[in-house]
Structure 1
Amino acid sequence: MTSRAAPNVRRRRLGTELRRLRERAGLSATESARLIGVSQAQLSNIEASRFGVSPARLQVMARNYDCSDRAYIKGLLDLAGERRPGWWETFRDVLPPPLLDIAELEHHATALRSANTAHLPGLLQTTDHAREIFRQVVPELSRADIEHRVNHRLRRQAVLDRPAPPPFRAVIHEAALRVPVGGRLVAAAQLRHLVEQSEREHITVQVIPFRIGAFPGSGQTILYVRGSAPRLDTVSLDQSHGPALVDTEAELESYRILLDRMEEVALTPSESRDFVVSLTREL
């Protein structure tokens, strides 16, 4: 086993899932450690993500915990086998860790969904729009910090440009579309960019107009990241202090239902595209 001083988000998730499996099986840390031939302290370090775990030992643990979900086990093996640092690690010393977590989750996602009521999805923002958003951060960021965040956001967007990009479905409320971030010219360019992106085969944009009134999830900003198995999905909630990640099965199911209901009340993708075009003409 190897030690990791600063485990990444996927390694942390692996430790959490192994602890959940053990607890679901009704085994204490002492009992489980004895079954796999390690000390209780070593098992605790694995579950706390301080140590990695080999694929062979992980499979033994899955058998001990009576886990037969093959897709889920394969997903755990993928988490355990991750070794190479991603591009986001170049920002490790200049950005808050939660921002790096989001980039890592998106990079490994099999599909992405979002719901935005106050801001446009980061993956669909223009450079000028993103820069203006970061200028409004409180406490105020330095010019260098703003540019670090802008560059990080642009690097994140590359996930949608790779040869086999994950499908991305975004629900955006009209309020987010009407805010003239950066002024009329920047706002118009952002709306045109949104239309262009929505025409790509793997990107779906749906708008919830004001006339719909109240709707499920009103006021929330949600990013739903699908993993290699449903139990390994993650939801990122945009909080004032930064992104907050949730990943229990009950929470994941709740947000899947919420996003489904938001898509049901939203305009169709074609209607949404026409709607955004009409807003562009109003600027």
Structure 2
Amino acid sequence: MPPRLSPTVRQQRLGIELRKMREHAGMTPKAMAAALGTDVPKISQMENGKSGISADRLHSWAIASKCMNSDLVAALVAMTNDRRKYWWDSFQGRVPSGIIDIAEMEHHAESLTILHTTFIPGLLQTSRYASAVFARLRPPLPRHEVNTRTAFRVERQQVLTLKPYTAFIHEAALRMQFGGPDVLRDQLGSLLEDSERPGVEIRAIPFDVDTFPGSGESLYFATGAVPELDIVQIDLSQGPHFVHSTADLETYRGINSETAEKALTPEESRAFIHQIMTNLKG
């Protein structure tokens, strides 16, 4: 098969883990190519996600690398065996690839934790609120692109029924009036309904809480089948950025823990959000 032109973040991650495994063993690409009976360009393609790898060859790669982490190898085998079509495939070419990568990350995660300081997290947005957020991008999007991105965001929300989801939402995001007060009022009401759903935990961070780690970023932490496959997505003006180095992951795990200590409890958060909504009505 010809090399992939644009591998997804998940495909790239598989390749990154293969490279880590090889480098940890002190093997050169040439040595790995010899061990697998292939050539160096093929090793490069597998390590950058442009070429797939079979389960048998992945096991051979792990053996050559003397990798004893059976859980990680099993998780990587599951990744390479997954060649199904998913709902987001129908949006290819219609929305930016980074947005599709987020949906793919969410689907394959074991659990999701997000910290937002400027707007309601995407999985909790109403369609009116999402449309208002997209309408404020600069340069402005054509109306049909706003509608397509909104539909994609709403479709992503099906993942809330599949796995645990925790959202830390700063008061600034709870008060930001994308689309005006009526849209925000409906959004806050929807947020209260979502907070009662099984597996969904919404925790507010009031203005009067001391500065907390990560307060200047929007962080999305997705746990993998094994800790080595955890990933963090950060919002940048150029699009989503994905982080997965061991040191960075440990830092963001610490941020999650400290944020949990600062935020209101789920029960306190519901009362807090309800009060904001009540004041908005007035």
TM-score range, shorter chain: over 0.9
Instruction: Identify the residue that residue 148 of structure 1 maps to in structure 2.
Output: 148
CA contact (8 A) 1:2 1:52 kept: no
Deviation at 1:9, TM superposition (A): 2.2
SS of 1:263's partner is: helix
Alpha-carbon separation, structure 2, partners of 1:147 and 1:78: 35
Alpha-carbon separation, structure 2, partners of 1:274 and 1:103: 31
Instruction: Identify the residue that residue 110 of structure 2 maps to in structure 1.
Output: 110
Instruction: Identify the residue that residue 134 of structure 1 maps to in structure 2.
Output: 134
**Which one of the candidate residues 215, 219, 232 is aligned to 1:218?**
215
- 1:183 matched to 2:180? The reply is yes
Alpha-carbon separation, structure 1, partners of 2:267 and 2:193: 12
- 1:256 matched to 2:246? The reply is no
Alpha-carbon separation, structure 2, partners of 1:150 and 1:232: 29
Structure 1: state its 5+ residue gaps.
Answer: none
Alpha-carbon separation, structure 1, partners of 2:279 and 2:25: 59
Residues matched between the structures, number = 280
Deviation string for 1:154-206 (max 9, x for gaps)? 11101113xxx110011011110011221111111100111110111200111
Instruction: Identify the residue that residue 206 of structure 2 maps to in structure 1.
Output: 209
The residue type equivalent to 1:86 in the other structure is: Y
Deviation at 1:2, TM superposition (A): 6.5
Instruction: Identify the residue that residue 72 of structure 2 maps to in structure 1.
Output: 72
The residue type equivalent to 1:187 in the other structure is: L
Deviation at 1:27, TM superposition (A): 0.6
Instruction: Identify the residue that residue 122 of structure 2 maps to in structure 1.
Output: 122
Instruction: Identify the residue that residue 49 of structure 1 maps to in structure 2.
Output: 49
Alpha-carbon separation, structure 2, partners of 1:158 and 1:194: 15
After TM superposition, the structure 1 = structure 2 runs for residues 21-32 of structure 1, keeping only pairs within 5 Å, are 21-32=21-32
Instruction: Identify the residue that residue 36 of structure 1 maps to in structure 2.
Output: 36
Instruction: Identify the residue that residue 84 of structure 1 maps to in structure 2.
Output: 84
User: TM-score normalized by structure 2?
Assistant: 0.96
CA contact (8 A) 1:72 1:229 kept: yes
CA contact (8 A) 1:110 1:226 kept: yes
- 1:166 matched to 2:163? The reply is yes
Alpha-carbon separation, structure 1, partners of 2:11 and 2:2: 12
Deviation at 1:272, TM superposition (A): 0.6
Instruction: Identify the residue that residue 236 of structure 1 maps to in structure 2.
Output: 233
Deviation string for 1:112-149 (max 9, x for gaps)? 00000111110000000000000000110000010110
Alpha-carbon separation, structure 2, partners of 1:242 and 1:229: 27
CA contact (8 A) 1:215 1:265 kept: yes
Alpha-carbon separation, structure 1, partners of 2:89 and 2:171: 35
Alpha-carbon separation, structure 2, partners of 1:97 and 1:209: 34
Instruction: Identify the residue that residue 278 of structure 2 maps to in structure 1.
Output: 281
**Which one of the candidate residues 191, 196, 221 is aligned to 1:199?**
196
Instruction: Identify the residue that residue 264 of structure 2 maps to in structure 1.
Output: 267
Alpha-carbon separation, structure 2, partners of 1:193 and 1:260: 26
The residue type equivalent to 2:101 in the other structure is: D
SS of 2:193's partner is: helix
Deviation at 1:6, TM superposition (A): 3.0
Could you tell which deviates more after superposition, 127-136 or 175-184?
Answer: 175-184
Instruction: Identify the residue that residue 19 of structure 1 maps to in structure 2.
Output: 19
Alpha-carbon separation, structure 2, partners of 1:229 and 1:33: 27
Alpha-carbon separation, structure 2, partners of 1:222 and 1:192: 24
SS of 1:154's partner is: helix
SS of 1:204's partner is: strand
The residue type equivalent to 1:189 in the other structure is: D
Alpha-carbon separation, structure 2, partners of 1:8 and 1:216: 30
Instruction: Identify the residue that residue 246 of structure 1 maps to in structure 2.
Output: 243
The residue type equivalent to 2:256 in the other structure is: L
CA contact (8 A) 1:235 1:246 kept: yes
Deviation string for 1:83-107 (max 9, x for gaps)? 1222111111111111110011111
